[in-house]
A and B are shown apart, each in its own frame.
Chain A
């Protein structure tokens, strides 16, 4: 299965963690050393993950680089990791954004050592959640991520950081508790049928439960994921968390953590409970479309640049959900593509917000205007990223949006037409934001002394914009690697329709492949 030496994925997981431990050994006065070391470790993780990309077998939809280590055999819990065409890009997105986020942390003054420590731990947590193939392991990573994020917002955040951090953690935990119950129920249910207690996801895929049972389990998973996405109306933690989080925190939150929710749907909720997913799809599609329009409308009225971007995420993630629950190849592939695109363009937007915040210590859009005059390079980057976010063809955002809407259109033309109105609204609020920020006369005297981007800041933005262009012009290297895995996921849904439903007395629930 894996052409690589055993432990490749584990190594990627370990690198940031080792980095975090190394940081502990460095005296806290050595600011520059601390920063450089964490940057190097995150870069090392990125380099290693690029080798994954190279060695990845694009024709294979199954899990690759799989590692299995027994952990708590008594409970059927094991350390199982692996990636397929779905998680590959989320891993890459994570390892790609983390060095940039650390590079953006140079201006952080307080407690830099702890800050970087949490950043690296967070990286391991997120990567773990994307590669875990054991439900229990996944749950552990899922919860572990909360801790560093809680501190990042709570310590290095803005004025209302405690409220925001608490809201973020409590809201997420509330959702995930139900998921834990569902996970345990699922494993015991599987044990009932197959006489083996296991949390191995690939095994659990083969369990076919009656629809009403599926529905309850699906809802338990879905609630936890929907909060993370966030799906309307579970989104209100997001603007608070974003506004209060430090720049790197916002980037990670929007760029990676939100994808945890959509990834969760695609990896767990949908293939584990396909019938329920099919049954619930209309509801979720409706919520997704409402979120698209609602997020856009609310974003338009924000006076705070960061809040505007936060609400735009609600809108964009609505597109992802719409695509996933179209439950066809274009929709899901578009959804995954949009996850990556959104990670890049919204990540870049948060970086850009941070850059002007570092200069002016305000995020209010009205405090700016005419920035092009003083900061042309900044303005050009903002322009490009904005249009990527609007979904201009030729940039990354278009590919995802187009495939999502195409996939959704064949399932539900009406809702898709409504969702497509979101592309108009997107243009309205983003262009209005541009006008107020970078165009017009330079009215505020404080802005007349602003300096344009530094080399460090260029180094953050240039790779993102390069990827934005590449993904827009030449998406095939990405799409072709996703396709087999998405096909497989879809096949699971189709076969589950035909598969016999598990009863209490151990009838074989083995997957029937003669369905279609």
Chain B
């Protein structure tokens, strides 16, 4: 049907991938209540299922180096600036499509069970479908502005879903924080877009199309490219929760757990990584930006892992772990290994979604309890949840032959062979920390003796099939997705053959000596083993010492409070800004500015009092005035001549 030689082909089918979830969303907005909770949920899930089927079909049609394109109409045209509403699918987008619709579909199914007893179920599925739409827009848009639209749209849905249980002000505050911190990043993003458009526009090129931009990058000076990419990266820092803008993500756990799995682990937060990969042709020639990205990525990976060690909330551990894993992805981007970054994005989506949904299953079973100190010994109660959790934990820890092992190892090897030993070292140490905190969690939740509160105990139950089946599928993915990208000394990487063409010669996989590669891997494996052992030694046995927060001291307290960064921002930014605004609103505006206005009015009245004196009623006075004025006018006009 599609000639494999052609690079760009039109495929009108593409538009339906995002539009079907949008239609379902619209139907539920207008008729959701009439349809009833169940039907609305099924409709929403089915819509994403159809998108998934279409995505698979497109994936199957897509030739190795081809691009599908679908133009709807011109969205904005002003002068020479013009942006279309059109979609494209290449290998990179195809992968993102599968992640978004595939994991999105599973999470929709899971939510049917998880949200079964919630009053706001219809609203929940409306938001969820809207999210899928915007996320698809983000990955399918054929230009940077459309990507930005999706980017902002998923931010909106994140805001709505984090604050989903709006009765509790705390949730809304978390939603606000997520949106506002993201907007700070978006400021950078949009300025980056402006700089790109105006710099190219100055040279007569007006485009934001991903297909066009690479041809014109050479028109930009290195300094301009550096500035543009830095600004764009600020957007990625916000969306993908990197230092210093990561603070919103842990709070975003206030949302329902399926949301945390879909938006705050598998898809939306990885948008920053996708964006840099999509614009690899801009980032690759900006070495200064790349090194900053690598440093921020590595620092975030390490920093978040240390915080995760001390958390007692089951979802907070996973949240910091997500921040940390996103750090790995940016580390990869920073060394130019875009393919490895996307590979880790891909595998991470599976095991992290599995972990989040697993935690949701635990929370569901325990009637909303999230404190791991009140769990323990759940293994026998929740066997399916337990086993899938074990698999996903092995994967994120990087135990050999799991998905996380392959993708993390690829990043570490690329760092090593790239000569960035410091980055590599941070990555390896973080791998050890990751293994430690994840197994700590596993043991605290499922092993040891039960610390579950007595009134909850009788109700503990395994989740229904509608929730466990998605867990099982994701657990399978947590193993086998990694096998796509095996190193050359095993069976070789199908992944690289698929994705590498997108990044062209940007950065091929570097092949060092195989023995070095294996040795480097063994070092990581050893560190991971140590991490697991330490967690085992400390948390696996019955009667584990679980430190209560009050007794926490020293370094542990620093970690528990995530270095008091929130408090720090509150001091240096939030409070000063509030104080300035208060002063402006309560003092400056009413007293100074309005005071001046009213002052002028008073002065005018004062003048009119004096002016009144001029109206003496004496005709001579008037005549003198009249003459003087006429003379003045006469002189004026004479001079004009």
Interface, chain A (partner B; CB < 8 A): 167, 170-171, 233, 235-237, 294, 297-298, 300-302, 328-330, 333-334, 370, 372-373, 387, 392-394, 398-399, 402-403, 405-406, 409-410, 413, 416-417, 420-421, 423-424, 427-428, 431-432, 434-435, 438-441, 474-476, 479-480, 483, 504
Contact = CB atoms under 8 A, between A and B. Distances in A.
Given A373-B167, A387-B156, A476-B77, 13 more contacts: A297-B584, A298-B585, A300-B581, A302-B585, A330-B79, A392-B156, A416-B194, A420-B191, A440-B172, A441-B167, A476-B75, A479-B78, A480-B77
Contacts of A435: 169, 172-173, 176
Interface in B551-585: 577-578, 580-582, 584-585
Contact of A406 (B75, B156, B194): B194
Interface string B424-436: 0000000000000
A403 B79 CA distance: 11
Given A373-B167, A421-B187, A297 B585 contact: yes
A298 B194 contact: no
A431 B176 contact: yes
B180 interface: yes
12 contacts: A236-B594, A294-B584, A297-B585, A394-B152, A399-B76, A420-B190, A420-B191, A435-B172, A439-B163, A474-B75, A483-B77, A483-B79
Contact of B78 (A297, A330, A373, A410): A330
Interface string B152-187: 110010010001001111001101100110011011
Interface stretch (B195-203, B374-382, B392-400, B479-487): B195-203
A301 B582 contact: yes
Interface in B586-613: 586, 589-590, 593-594, 596-597, 601
Interface residues of B, number: 55
A105 B175 CA distance: 36
A333 B79 CA distance: 9
Identify the interface centre among B179, B580, B581, B584: most chain A CB within 10 Å of its CB: B581
Interface string B58-83: 00000000000000011111110100
Nearest to B169: A440
A238 to B, nearest CB: 11
B8 interface: no
Contact of A403 (B76, B169, B184, B601): B76
A431 B162 CA distance: 13
B148 interface: yes
B138 to A, nearest CB: 11
A373 B166 CA distance: 9
B586 A406 contact: no
B509 interface: no
B221 interface: no
A440 B167 contact: yes
Identify the interface centre among A372, A403, A427: most chain B CB within 10 Å of its CB: A427
Contacts of A330: 78-79, 81
Contacts of B198: 406, 409-410, 413
A420 B593 CA distance: 24
A476 B176 contact: no
Q: Give the interface SS of chain B, mostly helix, strand, loop or mixed.
A: helix
A240 to B, nearest CB: 8
A372 B195 contact: no
Contacts of A392: 152-153, 156
Nearest to B574: A428
Identify the interface centre among A393, A394, A405, A435: most chain B CB within 10 Å of its CB: A393
4 closest pairs, A vs B, by CB?
Answer: A301-B585, A329-B79, A393-B149, A236-B594
Contacts of B190: 402, 405, 420, 423
Interface in B111-164: 145, 148-149, 152-153, 156, 159, 163
Contacts of A393: 148-149, 152-153
A237 B584 CA distance: 16
B640 interface: yes
A56 B270 CA distance: 47
Given A236-B597, A392-B152, A394-B149, A479 B180 contact: no
Contact of B593 (A233, A333, A399, A440): A233
Contacts of A333: 78-79
Contact of A427 (B166, B179, B197, B585): B179
A406 B197 contact: yes
A406 B81 contact: yes
Contacts of A480: 77
A167 B145 CA distance: 44
A29 B590 CA distance: 42
Nearest to B580: A297
B209 to A, nearest CB: 16
Nearest to B592: A233
A109 B91 CA distance: 65
B172 A301 contact: no
A434 to B, nearest CB: 8
A406 B145 CA distance: 12
B195 A409 contact: yes
Nearest to A303: B585
B176 A236 contact: no
Contacts of A483: 77-79
Given A405-B194, A480-B77, A428 B180 contact: yes
A416 B152 CA distance: 20
B194 A372 contact: no
Given A399-B76, A475-B76, A480-B77, A424 B176 contact: no
Contacts of A405: 190, 194
Nearest to B33: A376
Contact of B169 (A237, A439, A504): A439
Contacts of B580: 297
Nearest to A399: B76
Nearest to B594: A236
A417 B191 contact: yes
A475 B194 CA distance: 20
Contact of A171 (B76, B585, B589, B597): B597
Contact of B581 (A233, A301, A372): A301
Contacts of A479: 76-78
Contacts of B159: 431
A135 B437 CA distance: 75
B166 A440 contact: yes
Contacts of A233: 593, 596
Contact of B187 (A167, A297, A409, A424): A424
A363 to B, nearest CB: 16
B99 to A, nearest CB: 22
A467 B100 CA distance: 31
Contacts of A476: 73-77
Contacts of A394: 149, 152-153
B585 A236 contact: no
A504 B637 CA distance: 11
A442 to B, nearest CB: 8
